[in-house]
């Protein structure tokens, strides 16, 4: 894949927008860069949501309501590849904050965003977050890993 500086900068800007939207708990801003036919495979069940369900602001706002204050998100080691009207960005992501029940999640996930250029604008067509799990028979999520 090849990359142009402008396309890569636009895509990195979209990732920055996502972190700012999560921090502000702004569902509208969260989905602003989503394509109509997005497929979202994030940490919560089900395995994935497509189209409207993948960008359903009501569901996102309900999740935001489970947090007190901002939700911190940091992308690290992000690689961006662009080829024509398709691009992908992948790396790791650190999320932290305080839940209403007092829990303080502080975890690193693997994240991949796939983009398609639509009418001159990059849109996220696939978003995938994952946490590895221990293969020792416990199948426990490996939320203690750090880069």
Confidence of residue 45 (pLDDT cuts 50, 70, 90): confident
Average pLDDT of the chain is 94
CA–CA distance, 4 with 13 (Å, rounded to integer): 14
Question: What pLDDT does residue 3 have?
Answer: 53
Q: What is the pLDDT of residues 59-95, one digit of tens each?
A: 999 999 999 999 999 999 999 999 999 999 999 999 9
CA–CA distance, 69 with 99 (Å, rounded to integer): 9
Question: What pLDDT does residue 4 have?
Answer: 83
**Average of pLDDT values for 96-101?**
97
Question: What pLDDT does residue 14 have?
Answer: 98
Which has the closest alpha carbon to 72: 107, 35, 37?
Answer: 107
**Pairing state between β 106-118 and 49-50:** unpaired
Weakest mean pLDDT among 13-27, 41-55, 130-144 = 41-55
**Average of pLDDT values for 89-115?**
97
CA–CA distance, 29 with 65 (Å, rounded to integer): 16
**Average of pLDDT values for 127-147?**
95
Question: What pLDDT does residue 136 have?
Answer: 96
Percentage of the chain exceeding pLDDT 90: 91
Helices (H) and strands (E) in the chain, counts: 3, 6
All domains of the chain in start order, with CATH = 5-130 (3.10.450.50)
CB contact at 8 A, 13 and 21? no
């Amino acid at each position: 894949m090849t990359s142009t500086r402008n396309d890569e900068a636009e895509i990195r800007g979209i990732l920055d927008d996502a972190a700012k939207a999560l921090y502000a708990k702004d569902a509208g801003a969260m989905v602003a860069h989503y394509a109509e036919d997005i497929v979202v495979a994030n940490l919560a069940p089900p395995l994935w949501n497509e189209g409207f369900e993948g960008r359903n602001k009501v569901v996102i706002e309900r999740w935001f309501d489970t947090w007190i204050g901002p939700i911190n998100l940091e992308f690290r080691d992000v690689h961006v590849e662009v080829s024509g009207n398709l691009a992908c960005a992948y790396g790791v992501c650190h999320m932290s904050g305080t839940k209403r029940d007092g829990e303080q999640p502080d975890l690193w996930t693997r994240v991949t965003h796939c983009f398609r250029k639509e009418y001159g604008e990059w849109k996220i067509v696939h978003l995938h977050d994952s946490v590895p799990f221990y293969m020792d028979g416990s199948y426990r999520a490996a939320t203690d890993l750090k880069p």
